[in-house]
A = this chain, B = another copy of it.
């Protein structure tokens, strides 16, 4: 009986958690963390001084890129989400405070590590909810389109990362030698796995309820991201399993899951090494984090 009660409580907890509204608290955390990462990007502060419109547009891509990409994938208007004026205004306010607050006060508050860790955890709640919603939305459009469900869940979870080349182009930066699919960071990879799990659940091949999956996956994502942010590391928890799977299935050298090892050139012609996005920006990000304060 105690087991049944425990299960019922967990089930109810999961159900209540999956019905919890994201706006405004969780969405606010999502906007803050996203625009914080934008500020870390080399050159973004100069862009905010020279061209506030471009800076605002980049901030909107960081905050709403997942909705834009998912709408593009499903053939809807890419700016459909912009009808939610309150969400856009909130994100714009966050953008203004992070880039233009006198004495950089707001930035210093949210970049303070304990605060940042809380915000990062809240952001992961939103990410997982988006993946689930994306898979569900695709399922309604294509009842048996399992590939489509995975694709839409994937873009909902990854967001702006998947269009990073073009978001950077908006800021006058062009780095064609790498992209988020060629060398996936942890959130992008986890979004792919999450999209697959939610698709399996939607197709009734995974014998768990959606709310339980949301709760479990959220706990996993939030824990990983909080630990990685606290340690300033990019090591992925998937690394070992991926390494062996890639080696067996795809003949990859051991360590394919480690995006830090992508050094080999990929093209004979004016080629550039297949660097991980982290490697290119990690050093710059640390320098920028100091400079931005």
Interface residues of A (CB under 8 A from B): 42-43, 46-54, 57, 71-80, 82-83, 85, 88, 99-100, 141-142, 144-148, 151-152, 165, 169-179, 181-184, 192, 246, 249-253, 256, 262, 264-272, 274, 280, 284, 287
Contacts and interface: CB of A to CB of B under 8 A. Distances in A.
A45 B82 CA distance: 41
The 4 lowest CB-CB distance pairs between A and B, nearest first, are A75-B77, A174-B176, A43-B267, A83-B145
Interface centre among A47, A53, A83, A192 (most CB of B within 10 A): A83
Contacts of A74: 77, 79
A106 to B, nearest CB: 14
A85 to B, nearest CB: 6
Contact of A249 (B52, B147, B151, B287): B52
Given A73-B77, A73-B78, A147 B85 contact: yes
Contacts of A182: 47, 50-51, 54, 170-172
A48 B172 CA distance: 28
A88 B49 CA distance: 41
A25 B78 CA distance: 34
B78 A75 contact: yes
B172 A50 contact: no
A134 to B, nearest CB: 12
A172 B267 contact: yes
Contacts of A176: 169, 172-174
Nearest to A267: B43
Nearest to A287: B268
Nearest to A76: B75
Given A100-B250, A172-B182, A274 B148 contact: no
Nearest to A80: B75
Nearest to A99: B250
Contact of A100 (B75, B251, B272): B251
A226 B213 CA distance: 53
Contacts of A266: 43, 46-47, 50, 171-173
Given A46-B274, A265-B43, A269-B42, A177 B183 contact: no
27 contacts: A42-B271, A43-B268, A46-B265, A47-B274, A49-B251, A49-B253, A49-B256, A50-B266, A51-B256, A52-B252, A54-B181, A73-B77, A75-B75, A77-B141, A77-B148, A82-B147, A83-B142, A85-B147, A99-B250, A100-B249, A170-B179, A170-B181, A171-B266, A172-B178, A172-B271, A172-B272, A175-B269
B269 A50 contact: no
